[in-house]
């Protein structure tokens, strides 16, 4: 076996084994322990995070932050991966901010010169635009980890009445219109709620002993089905112009079901959580003449109150 092939297979092996001895690797690869020691030194220089332990039960271990073995990308695949990461630059906060930056640098600097030239020519000709928000979302990583590991998080959450402590079990995080949101089970409300991540003043793993619920079957694609009870929902009917349809499809998440007419206009007719009525009232006011709310009457009345308050400001 050639040295280069042995190094690649050795990298894959130590990633898989996590803990091993030089003798075990030497026997597996059919080489001397001295050769394995040299190979491990080269892997360490390449960035594989190894450390050794002495004693009768010693050996080598791979740190938690493992690296993947070499993966061969075609030129088109490499360019696609570069721009997928490049698109994230519009977000000031990411759950893997540092990692996405280093991954982008690796994709760029380790590409052949002609591929880098091609990327340079494409940078100003293709983009994935999203709103750039100044609001901080500093706790995305712990929220995402808690969602994966099924753990409870204590947060200080800003509301119109001030900050309140909540204990939540995150389902996941997602970005929409430049804002980050966390869908989570709220132990205070005994149900699923949606939280704006920029309104979290602090977030830490809970230490009070609350037992996490088994929510492994719940994810961002279905969490609303386990949320508000039907009795706490309202039917919302809105007539939309062509532009109103486009705004709803691009700005609302999840994307609402809209019956679209041949001319591009449409009607939104669906049940939404009653607790989100104020959000939708303000949203459809923002659409102006591109939307006409038909139901519920309570939303129409609240929109009138908001508009009256706005007119009074400029009277």
Segment 268-298, tens digit of pLDDT: 999 887 778 888 999 999 999 999 999 999 9
Q: Closest Cα partner for 267 from 301, 298, 300, 244?
A: 244
Residue 227 to residue 251: CA distance in whole angstroms: 21
Reported confidence tier of residue 87, pLDDT bands at 50, 70, 90: confident
Is residue 47's pLDDT more than 80?
no
Please name which of 44, 48, 39 lies closest in space to residue 4, comparing C-alpha atoms. Answer: 39
More confident site: 14 or 69: 14
What's the rounded Cα separation, in Å, for the pair 281 and 215? 32
Q: What is the mean pLDDT of the chain?
A: 85
8 Å CB contact between 256 and 235: no
Summarize pLDDT for 211-249 with one digit per residue, the tens.
999 999 999 988 888 865 434 678 999 999 999 999 998
pLDDT the model gives residue 263: 95
**Gap between the Cα atoms of 303 and 281, Å rounded:** 6
Coil, helix or strand at residue 191: strand
């Amino acid at each position: 076996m050639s040295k280069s092939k042995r190094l690649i297979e050795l990298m894959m092996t130590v990633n898989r084994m996590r803990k091993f001895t030089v003798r075990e690797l030497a026997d597996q690869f059919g080489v001397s322990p001295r050769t394995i020691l040299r190979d491990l030194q080269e892997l360490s220089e390449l960035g594989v995070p190894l450390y050794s332990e002495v004693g009768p039960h010693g050996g080598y271990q791979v740190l938690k932050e493992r690296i993947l073995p070499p993966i061969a990308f075609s030129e088109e695949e490499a360019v696609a991966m570069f721009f997928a990461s490049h698109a994230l630059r519009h977000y000031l906060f990411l759950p893997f901010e540092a990692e996405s930056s280093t991954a982008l640098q690796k994709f760029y600097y380790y590409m052949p010169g002609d591929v880098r030239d091609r990327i340079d020519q494409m940078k100003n000709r293709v983009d994935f635009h999203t709103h750039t928000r100044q609001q901080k979302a500093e706790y995305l990583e712990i929220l995402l980890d808690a969602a994966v590991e099924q753990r409870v998080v204590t947060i200080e959450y800003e509301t119109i009445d001030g900050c309140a402590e909540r204990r939540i079990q995150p389902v996941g995080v997602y970005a929409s219109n430049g804002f980050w949101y966390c869908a989570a089970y709220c132990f205070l409300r005994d149900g699923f709620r949606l939280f704006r991540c920029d309104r979290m003043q602090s977030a830490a793993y809970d230490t009070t002993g609350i037992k996490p619920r088994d929510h492994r079957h719940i994810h961002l694609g279905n969490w609303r089905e386990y949320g508000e009870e039907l009795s706490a929902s309202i039917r919302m009917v809105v007539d939309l112009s062509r532009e109103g349809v486009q705004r709803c499809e691009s700005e609302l998440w999840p994307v609402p079901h809209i019956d679209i007419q041949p001319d591009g206009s449409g009607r939104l007719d669906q049940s939404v959580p009653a607790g989100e009525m104020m959000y939708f009232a303000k949203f459809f006011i923002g659409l102006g003449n591109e939307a006409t709310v038909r139901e519920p009457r309570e939303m129409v009345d609240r929109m009138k109150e908001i508009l009256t308050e706005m007119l009074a400001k400029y009277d």
